[in-house]
Structure 1
Amino acid sequence: MPAYIAKRLLLMLPTLLGVLLLTFIVLQFVPGGPVEQYLAEAKAAGGAAEGGALTYRGGQGVDEARLAQIKKLYGFDKPAHERFFIMLRQFARFDLGTSFFQNKDVWQLIREKLPVSASLGLWTFFISYLVSVPLGVAKAVRAGSRFDLATTVLLLAGYAIPGFVLGVALLVVFGGQLQWFPLRGLTSAHFDELSLWGKVADYLWHVTLPVTAMVLGSFATTAMLTRNSFLEEIRKQYVLTARAKGLGERQVLYGHVLRNALIPIVTGFPAAFIGAFFTGALLIETLFSLDGLGLLSYESVIRRDYPVVLGTLYLFTLISLVTRLVSDLCYVWVDPRVKFD
């Protein structure tokens, strides 16, 4: 086990380096970088940007000295390979840099946006598991019945409907026509004036539609995985032996089969739980005017805010690699028969 963990940790380094290197190279060829956007904003503002600090002289553009200052401001006065190694040294110290356009530390931006994405992710995670696992077990016990067929059709239909399409329908029906739920935000404008229970009710009132739009499509995978795993275990020899010993059907199914059938579900639990905090749903956040990590990533790419793009990529990739390792280790914890060698 220690040798396996050490090997996986060592393999994380080239993986992380490769992800950062490929993204950095792609960004070098994307037009409309920070300097170009700075100049475009200055031109659109009629020759004044940042309180007149930049003088745009019509067709002549910006003088070379000022252009050199702007490039130095964004770190583009150095060659690309030198900027890459400077970035790696910063990331090694867990310094994610400062946003070009928001003048905030990337860590601060992540902390500001994290509550929104965590709210959506955690609700989606818990609801999907609490519904999908019992539903998958019920489908396995009634395999081939009308209940199994009907729920499969419903699950596949929900999986096929994109979350943002369902979100639009929910907004139009329940937010627009019926006006049962708010159209935007996670809280009301008068949230701070409410009592504790009032705040809880207000938050749940706002989060219902976006969570519903996100959670519907997540039922199918977990439910069908639970069902198929349960059916596979039922066909094994130890189940026949348990029945031959006179154990009741309920004791066989829920005392023996369920414990083994849930191994694939349990081992994926840590990665899914950690991922719920950092999974930004861009379209849902945009649709419901929620300022989360998904919207932050999208706006950073559009504005070529490279510190935010690369900083969040580094952090989320590192978290993903670690959680995958934890998920693999959970196999040994749940099922001692698994050997990594």
Structure 2
Amino acid sequence: MLIYLLKRLAAIVPTLLGVLTITFLVTQFVPGGPVDHMLAQIDGADVRSGGEAESSGGWSYSGRSGIDAAQIGQLSELYGFDRPPLERYWQMLKNFARFEFGDSYFHNQSVWSLIKDKLGVSVSLGVWTFFLTYLVSVPLGIAKAVRAGSRFDFITSLLVLAGYAVPGFVLGVLLILLFGGGSFWDIFPLRGLTSDNFDELTPLGKATDYLWHVTLPVIASVVSHFAMKTLLTKNMFLEEIRRQYVLTARAKGLSERQVLWKHVFRNTLLPLVTGFPATFIAAFFTGSLLIETLFSIDGLGLLSYESINSRDYPVVLGTLYLFTLIGLFVKLAGDIAYVLVDPRIRFSAQEN
């Protein structure tokens, strides 16, 4: 196990290096970099001051023609694009090795401070999504396995598959139309995780206000996540229930509850544990971009989306670096939990 862990830890370095290299090549050489983005804003400001209408999205930019070369040089130097790409690449690797991500091009603060400001929001949504996924899918999967073939199993299967077929973003739009004042009922708020007067509320009022804001985003995230986990739990339980040791336990006089939770559940825990990393990553990162953008929640997902649009490369690279690093360590933690659940598992076969 120790040798396996050392190998996995050693593999983290080339994985991070590959992710950063590919992302650097993409971000540094695609058209419309941060210099062009800033020039577009300046060009748009000049158009508006001249009394002409600005194009949609603020991009009334007609290229670098007519822009003072000295101004372009100053912007290139400000963003570090006056140096050769290879030099910038090596400098990026040195900084990232020390977890120094630099400063945002457009937020006037460091990338670290931006991440710390937004991290709590994404963690809040991710924790709710992660735990509710398991709290719903595992009991529901067990109930479906115990009542396999019944009307309950049939109806819940239709609901689960329907939830899986509808993407979280589409479900979020539907929830807004139904309950967010879109076309029917104006029940839940649509922006942020707290109200503007949050600091003035009592502790109970703060908790209620937070839960009121988080309801729709969490529902949109959870519904699309728990379907596969529910079906996996059901199938694993059905497979274990048909085994000989279950018949033996029942023959010894154990109650059905003892058979299910003491014997069957323990043996089906292994595949559920192995799904922890994928569920964790999906809850915290995969769905956060669309959900946070849709509900205007100021978290890491929305920050990444805005950074890509504005070509804020330090923020793009910094968040991607952290996401990749967290994902690798979570996967490693899942493997460790895999062994803790079943010590018989060996990741590397011994040679004879």
* 1:171 aligns with one of 161, 168, 176: 176
Cα deviation, residue 295, structure 1: 1.0
Cα deviation, residue 240, structure 1: 3.2
Q: Distance in 1 between matches of 2:190 and 2:164?
A: 24
TM-score for both structures, normalised by structure 1: 0.91
Q: Distance in 2 between matches of 1:221 and 1:14?
A: 32
Query: 1:271-328 CA deviation, whole Å, 9 max, x = no partner?
Result: 6447645556222222222111111111111111110111111111011011101101
1:187-206 matches, cutoff 5 A: 187-206=194-213
Query: 1:55-114 CA deviation, whole Å, 9 max, x = no partner?
Result: xxx953213x44322211111111111111110100110111111111211111111112
1:318-337 matches, cutoff 5 A: 318-337=325-344
Q: Is residue 117 of structure 2 the alignment partner of residue 115 of structure 1?
A: no
Instruction: Specify the alignment match of 1:53 in structure 2.
Output: none
- The letter of the residue matching 2:114 is L
Relative distance call for 1:116 and 1:280 in structure 2 (3 A) is farther
Q: Distance in 1 between matches of 2:111 and 2:252?
A: 62
Relative distance call for 1:211 and 1:293 in structure 2 (3 A) is same
Cα deviation, residue 339, structure 1: 0.8
| Contact 1:117/1:280 (8 A) holds in 2 | no
Relative distance call for 1:48 and 1:166 in structure 2 (3 A) is closer
Q: Distance in 1 between matches of 2:66 and 2:297?
A: 42
| Contact 2:168/2:287 (8 A) holds in 1 | no
Relative distance call for 1:271 and 1:169 in structure 2 (3 A) is closer
Instruction: Specify the alignment match of 1:269 in structure 2.
Output: 276
Q: Distance in 1 between matches of 2:288 and 2:66?
A: 43
Cα deviation, residue 47, structure 1: 8.7
Q: Is residue 138 of structure 2 the alignment partner of residue 105 of structure 1?
A: no
Instruction: Specify the alignment match of 1:141 in structure 2.
Output: 146
Instruction: Specify the alignment match of 2:262 in structure 1.
Output: 255
Q: Distance in 2 between matches of 1:271 and 1:160?
A: 19
The share of aligned pairs that are identical, in percent, is 64
Q: Distance in 1 between matches of 2:153 and 2:232?
A: 14
Q: Is residue 2 of structure 2 the alignment partner of residue 10 of structure 1?
A: no
Relative distance call for 1:59 and 1:132 in structure 2 (3 A) is closer
Instruction: Specify the alignment match of 1:54 in structure 2.
Output: none
| Contact 1:279/1:293 (8 A) holds in 2 | no
TM-score for both structures, normalised by structure 2: 0.88
- The letter of the residue matching 1:148 is D
| Contact 1:20/1:314 (8 A) holds in 2 | yes
Q: Is residue 43 of structure 2 the alignment partner of residue 43 of structure 1?
A: yes
**Structure 1 portions without partners, runs of 5+:** 50-57
Find runs of 4+ consecutive structure 1 residues off by over 6 angstroms. Answer: none
- The letter of the residue matching 1:196 is P
Q: Distance in 2 between matches of 1:320 and 1:313?
A: 10
* 2:249 aligns with one of 236, 242, 245: 242
- The letter of the residue matching 2:159 is L
- The letter of the residue matching 2:299 is G
Q: Is residue 80 of structure 2 the alignment partner of residue 79 of structure 1?
A: no
Q: Distance in 2 between matches of 1:27 and 1:197?
A: 46
Q: Is residue 290 of structure 2 the alignment partner of residue 283 of structure 1?
A: yes
Instruction: Specify the alignment match of 1:34 in structure 2.
Output: 34
Q: Distance in 1 between matches of 2:211 and 2:221?
A: 15
Q: Distance in 2 between matches of 1:206 and 1:37?
A: 34
| Contact 1:230/1:261 (8 A) holds in 2 | yes
Q: Is residue 130 of structure 2 the alignment partner of residue 129 of structure 1?
A: no
Relative distance call for 1:2 and 1:163 in structure 2 (3 A) is same
Relative distance call for 1:196 and 1:188 in structure 2 (3 A) is same
| Contact 2:289/2:305 (8 A) holds in 1 | yes
Give the 3-state SS of the residue equivalent to 1:46 in structure 2: helix
Q: Is residue 300 of structure 2 the alignment partner of residue 293 of structure 1?
A: yes
Give the 3-state SS of the residue equivalent to 2:180 in structure 1: helix
| Contact 2:221/2:283 (8 A) holds in 1 | no
In the alignment of these two chains, the number of paired residues is 332
Q: Distance in 1 between matches of 2:207 and 2:334?
A: 33
